[in-house]
Amino acid sequence: MSSNISFNTTSTSYYVYTTSFDANRIKFTIFLILQLFSIPCFLWIFYQFARQRKLRESHHHHVIILLLIISFIFVTVALPITQSYMYLSAIYPQNKLFCSIWNWLHYSLNIINCFLMAFASIERNWLIFHPQLVRTRRGKFFFHYCPLVCCLIYPTGFYFGAIFIHKCQSYYDYSQLLCKWPCYFYNVNWANVDLFFNNYTPLIAIPVFCTMIYVRVLIQKQAMKQQVFKWKRDKKMIIQLWVISSLYLGMWMPIQITGLINIYWDSWFLLQAQIDYMYLFPYFIHLIYPFMIFLTYYKEMYPFKRNTIAALVTNTDRTVRGRAN
């Protein structure tokens, strides 16, 4: 161990994981800077949704609000634990319960976000091409509120059962991020459900249903443009979906693709890069998400200002004309 850089090393029968003290401090600084900017942005957006009833009551905004809430919880609760590890390059307190709670928070919040984003991609198809599905109370219950509740309850329950109820021997490492991993990873059934259903299903659903929207819009573009108001609303929803889904896919796909390569082809492929960088990519979703919402929703959050400016211009014009006459 040198005086400038220290390393924590954990040996397994397959690979030697290394984490650099200085690299962790750099990651801590990056996350802290983004966190200091993202929290005020979260709070400002929450204020706008709370202040404008029309904004928060629109059905296509409900999933956006839930995504904001989950990301805010991640940034203010789960991320500080990670930051503590990055600053110290060690886990404190060093006990199994703390590691289990940390893993439960981390995986539950991330997978809730993935499922909500997948549902947002599916729901946009309904709202644009089959709006009749959510016009009745029954339709709203089955096609809007039930999926949202399932997206919240299922991941929370799954990881609670996998981490706290499933009986297995814990192998936590207090020198690694997330204490390495929970013991259910060693159970083939739990691990397969987690990998293929919890991770790959929503990450496949997002591009598939987004592509369906884009293709159908290209096919029906001329017919949709004839309904001017509906076209403007639908175009706005499509752009918002494209921006947000691009963030999710850009941050999640690298770790998932390399994970598939590790499982089926090369078990050592980019392992150190995954440990050093890719495992942290999903953190940036939560930190960047409020800025994405601000950029795509700011016009809807400032309708009163546009109306006020238009009214001022109209009144000024009338005054000038009156004086001229």
Give 100-117 pLDDT, tens digit per residue: 999 999 999 999 999 999
How confident is the model at residue 311, as a pLDDT?
41
Full 3-state SS string of the chain: CCCCCCEEEEECCCCEEEEEHHHHHHHHHHHHHHHHHHHHHHHHHHHHHHHCHHHHHCHHHHHHHHHHHHHHHHHHHHHHHHHHHHHHCCCCCCCHHHHHHHHHHHHHHHHHHHHHHHHHHHHHHHHHHCHHHHCCHHHHHHHHHHHHHHHHHHHHHHHHHHHHHCCCCCCCCCCCHHHCCCHHHHCHHHHHHHHHHHHHHHHHHHHHHHHHHHHHHHHHHHHHHCCHHHHHHHHHHHHHHHHHHHHHHHHHHHHHHHHHHHHHCCCCCCHHHHHHCHHHHHHHHHHHHHHHHHHHHHHHHCHHHHHHHHHHHHHHHHHHHHHHC
Query: Using alpha carbons only, how large is the chain's radius of gyration in Å?
Result: 24
Identify the band that residue 273 occupies on the pLDDT scale cut at 50, 70 and 90.
Answer: confident
42, 68 contact by CB (below 8 A): yes
Q: What is the mean pLDDT of the chain?
A: 83
Sign of the torsion formed by the C-alpha atoms of 297, 298, 303 and 307: negative
Task: State the pLDDT at residue 231.
Answer: 61
* pLDDT over 60 (residue 12): no
pTM of the model: 0.84
C-beta separation of 88 from 177 below 8 A: no
- Per-residue pLDDT tens for 69-83? 999 999 999 999 999
- pLDDT, position 118: 96
Question: What are the pLDDT digits (tens) for 184-204?
Answer: 988 999 999 999 999 999 999
The better pLDDT of the pair 302, 226 is held by: 302
pLDDT at 91 over 50: yes
Distance of CA 175 to the CA centre of its chain: 27
User: What distance in Å separates the CA atoms of residue 188 and residue 191, rounded to the nearest whole number?
Assistant: 5
Q: What is the pLDDT at residue 58?
A: 81
What is the band of 161 on the pLDDT scale with cuts at 50, 70, 90? very high
Nearest in space to 148 (alpha carbons), one of 122, 179, 168: 122
- Reported confidence tier of residue 163, pLDDT bands at 50, 70, 90: very high
Question: Is the confidence at residue 16, as pLDDT, over 70?
Answer: no
Q: Mean pLDDT across the stretch 261-268? A: 79
pLDDT per residue as tens digits for the range 281-319: 999 999 999 999 998 887 777 655 444 444 444 454 454
